[in-house]
Each structure stands twice: as C-alpha cells, then as structure tokens.
Amino acid sequence: MQDVFSKLGPLIIGSRLKRMSDYIMRAGAEFYTSKGVDFEPKWFPLYYLLSHEKELGIMDIAQKLNISHPAVIQLAKELEKKGWVTSTKSKEDARKRLLKLSKKGISLLPQLQLIWDDIREVNRQVVESQSTNVLKALEEMEVFFASKSYTERMKEFQDSKKK
C-alpha cells in the first residue's frame, strides 16, 4: 500500500485503521498460542466484561461492547463450550438469559491477567515510542464524531458547497 496510495492521505483513513487493527489482533492471537493458552482475542471483550460485571443479559452486553446481539450469542456459545461461562434465566424478566463467568472461568483469570499485562506493556511501548499518540488520536476522533456524526458532517459539507 505505498506509491499510488501515499498521496491519498485522508481518503483512506478507514482502510489504514483496519489494516493496523488486523495486524495487532493477529499478533495478539499468536501471543496467546505461544503462551500455551487456548484463548482467542475476539473473546477478550466479553470475557473481560463478565469478569467485572457478575451477570449481564445478552442485549446489555451487545450495547456495552458495541457489537450485534447475535455476535454476543455466538461468542457466549463458544465460551460456554469452553466451560468458562454459564447462563441462567432471569427471574425478574423471563425473556432474559443472564451470562456470567463459571468457577472454571474465574479460575482462569489470574493466568490471563499475566498475559494481558504483557500485551499492555508492549502496547505501552508502542504508544510511548510515538511522538503522536495513537490512543489520543482515536480518543479525539471518537469525541469528534460523538458530537456530530460523519454522515452529518458530510451533509453539511455538501450544503456549504452549494452556496
């Protein structure tokens, strides 16, 4: 992705973010394997969330993780198969199925913590090497679009041109 694309600059922010994200996620997967832990990066958000929140319904999780609810069901299915997560029907609301970490899931935590510490440390090295901090940049983008969405900004730009 050099030469031709170097001049594109802002036009391909999306693709470049995706490429870097894929790269990091893949490296993360490698790392779990190298440590002999049968854990996949995609499980992290759900697992981590449950490790902090005791019990949560499918939709609550989907919202907190900002993914679709079928994705949550799928991830939960995998973690249940591993025996790390169990579910119970809610007594207050019969529609809800509550997820939580099983004992086995909780007992795995310390081992994962160590790995997460390592990942965090290397990521910190990345960030510290930067004169321009990627996390800060992301933070700023999130705030920027929270105040007004990309699509809205597009519309406004269109209108401003017409004048």
Question: Which residues of the shown chain bind DNA in the complex (CB under 7 A)?
Answer: 40, 42, 57-60, 67-71, 73-75, 90, 93-98
Nearer to DNA, 97 or 100 (CB): 97
Instruction: Strands of the chain (E only): list them.
Output: 56-57, 85-89, 97-101
Q: Least CB distance from residue 26 to DNA, whole Å? A: 7
Answer for which of 54, 68, 104, 140 binds a second copy (CB under 8 A) is 140
The interface region with a second copy, picked from 37-45, 74-82, 83-91, 104-112 by CB under 8 A, is: 37-45
30 is a site residue for a second copy (CB under 8 A): yes
**What does the angle CA 6 – CA 11 – CA 17 come to, to the nearest 5 degrees?**
85
Number of residues that this document lists for the chain: 163
Continuous segment of H or E residues that includes residue 145: helix 134-147
How far CA 15 is from CA of 35, 120, 141, in Å, comes to: 31, 24, 15
Residues sharing a CB contact under 8 Å with residue 64, sequence separation 6 or more, in sequence order: 49, 56
Q: Least CB distance from residue 136 to a second copy, whole Å? A: 4
Which option in a second copy, DNA, none does residue 23 bind, with CB closer than 5 to 8 A by kind?
A: a second copy
Q: What are phi and psi of 75, to 5 degrees?
A: -60, -45
Nearer to a second copy, 93 or 116 (CB): 116
Q: Least CB distance from residue 18 to a second copy, whole Å? A: 4
